[in-house]
Amino acid sequence: MTLGSIPLIQREPELWAKIGEKLLSTEYDERDVPIAQKKSIWLGMGMTEKQGGSDVRANETIAVPVAETGRGKAYLLTGHKWFFSAPMCDAHLVVAKTEQDGLACFFVPRWLEDGTKNQIQVQRLKEKVGNRSNSSSEVEFKNAWGIMIGEAGRGIPTIIEMANYTRLTCSVGSSAMLRQALVQCIAYTRQRQAFGKHLIDQPLMRAVLADLALESEAATQLSFHLAQCYESDDALSVAWKRIMTPAAKFWICKRAVELTGEMMEVFGGNGYVDNGIMARIFKEAPVNTIWEGSGNVMCLDVLRAIGRDPESMEVLFKDLASTASTDKALQTELQDLFRLFHQSPEDLQFMGRSLVSRLTLLAQAVLLKRYAPDYVANGFIQSRFSAKHGQVVGMLDAKMVDIERVLERAFAS
């Protein structure tokens, strides 16, 4: 969240002059003191209210100007946030409604400059399924002091710019979980024996692990390709960022929920024991599908991006085509998707999940073709673009996928 807040704060010269260096610091200053006394600071985000998180327009928290109105001016906020993660952050970017201009975004510090605490009352910490290392709170604002950042009336686009970074980091995080769980599975099956052999040497377990390895590599390639796009502003990077950030967030985070369950099973009964690593990863995975926009909302965002900026879609598809044209299955899929994305908006919405899943798989296949060894790219394409690839992990065709080499690559010693 701190990372995602930086581009927004950079556009507020007065605020940036005060806190920019502290935001960029790589040290963690844990002291509970006003920002002026700290070497480094963290920022969180406050959008979600009881009556709705996906529909931020429904926000009811009110912001009243202290004196003048508009960007850079001080306001007092009254209302609540139903999810307010990392409440120990030094400030949060909070969406609230002004009487004059509607929704706006506010920088709301925990401490005021005069050394007193801001009027943010933590009501409770959530009792969550997992994600225990991140506390999530419910808060009330009672004339909490904040400064408007971004333009008046543009609260949603302002906070969504921050959310795009956090959506990217959800994909990176879920890719990391997949890889971490895969490494645990590899280590476990190398030493655990059943029926006279190590599990790793049992053909059916090899099919499961190879399938997981392909998925893990595809997720990582897509997440880091996107991360690289965030370093540039050329038309192609913009198209990847705008369309593929929500698409990747939808697909990779959702796959992580299913696959961490599968990887738990690799450990047998030991996987289901709560104080082990697999249970922790399994319980962590769903959070990335929900926060920063849940699955349907991500799919709708992909469709919105394509609807509002068809040129970006052309740019993205042209880029995908430059690699997909070298593979018959990918080329057929690309042409089919291009046609389907040109349907009426109602039909598009109903098919949102299917289209976004297919687009993401295509993008992963293209990136593997570009950057991974042939046996990984071909293994992914042969399995994911074949009707035989089933509903469960491990339904690979050993004639089509080079299981030995895929596993060898994943089993870095």
Closest approach, Cβ 290 to ligand FAD, in A, equals 5
When the beta carbons of 49 and 217 are compared against ligand FAD, the nearer one is: 49
Asked if residue 78 lies in contact with residue 140, where contact means CB atoms within 8 angstroms, the answer is no
Looking at beta carbons only, is 4 or 293 nearer to ligand FAD? 293
CB atoms within 10 A of CB 375: 16
Q: Per rule CB under 6 A, is residue 93 in the interface with ligand FAD?
A: no
The bridge status of strand 91-98 relative to strand 102-109 is: antiparallel
Kindly compute the dihedral angle of the four CA atoms of residues 26, 106, 253, 310, in this order, to the nearest 10 degrees: -110
| Residue 313 contacts residue 306 (beta carbons within 8 Å) | yes
The smaller minimum CB distance to ligand FAD, of residues 120 and 365, is found at 120
* Interacting residues of 337 by C-beta distance below 8 A, sequence separation 6+: 317, 355, 358, 359, 362
Between 4 and 44, name the residue whose CB sits nearer to ligand FAD: 44
Which residues in 287-306 contact ligand FAD (CB under 6 A)? Answer: 287, 290-297, 300
Cβ 227 to ligand FAD shortest distance, Å: 21
At a CB cut-off of 8 Å and minimum separation 6, what does 306 contact?
243, 312, 313, 341
What are the residues whose beta carbons fall under 8 Å from the beta carbon of 357, sequence distance 6 or more? 250, 251
Minimum CB separation of residue 144 from ligand FAD in Å reads 15
Contact yes or no for 136/215 (Cβ under 8 A): no
Which residue lies nearer to ligand FAD by CB, 54 or 325?
Answer: 54
Interacting residues of 277 by C-beta distance below 8 A, sequence separation 6+: 184
Q: Check if the beta carbon of residue 182 is closer than 8 Å to that of residue 263.
A: yes
- Look up residue 205 and give its two tokens: 């377990």
Contact status: 83 vs ligand FAD (CB under 6 A)? yes
Helical pair 245-266 and 352-371, crossing angle rounded to 10 deg: 80
Closest CA to 179 of 4, 5, 13, 409: 409
Compute the least distance from the CB of residue 384 to ligand FAD, in Å. Answer: 25
Among 4, 34, 53, 146, binds ligand FAD (CB under 6 A): 53
Q: How far is the CB of 71 from ligand FAD (least distance, A)?
A: 21
Examine residue 84 and tell whether it contacts ligand FAD (CB under 6 A): yes
Closer residue to ligand FAD (CB): 48 or 221: 48
DSSP state of 63: E
CB of 49 to ligand FAD, least distance (A): 8
Q: Which of residues 201-260 bind ligand FAD (CB under 6 A)?
A: none
Q: Looking at beta carbons only, is 34 or 46 nearer to ligand FAD?
A: 46
Q: Which of residues 20-49 bind ligand FAD (CB under 6 A)?
A: 44-48
CB 324 within 8 A of CB 85: no
Choose one: 7-15, 51-59, 177-185, 305-313; the region binding ligand FAD (CB under 6 A): 51-59
Q: Least distance to ligand FAD from the beta carbon of 292, Å? A: 6
Q: Pick between residue 296 and residue 386 the one whose CB is nearest to ligand FAD.
A: 296
Q: CB-wise, 45 or 403, nearer to ligand FAD?
A: 45
- Quote the least distance from Cβ 68 to ligand FAD, whole Å: 27
Residue 118 DSSP code = P
Give the strand pairing for 91-98 and 62-65: parallel
Least Cα distance to 77 among 104, 58, 43, 50 occurs for: 104
Instruction: Please check whether residue 240 is in contact with residue 360, taking contact to mean a CB–CB distance below 8 angstroms.
Output: no
Site for ligand FAD in 110-169 (CB under 6 A): 128, 131, 136
Q: Are the C-beta atoms of 286 and 129 separated by less than 8 Å?
A: yes
By beta carbon distance, the residue nearest ligand FAD is: 53
- Binding residue for ligand FAD, selected from 22, 29, 52, 319, defined by CB under 6 A: 52
Q: Which of residues 302-361 bind ligand FAD (CB under 6 A)?
A: none
CB of residue 348 vs ligand FAD: minimum separation in angstroms? 13
- Residues in the site for ligand FAD, rule: CB under 6 A? 44-48, 52-54, 83-85, 128, 131, 136, 287, 290-297, 300
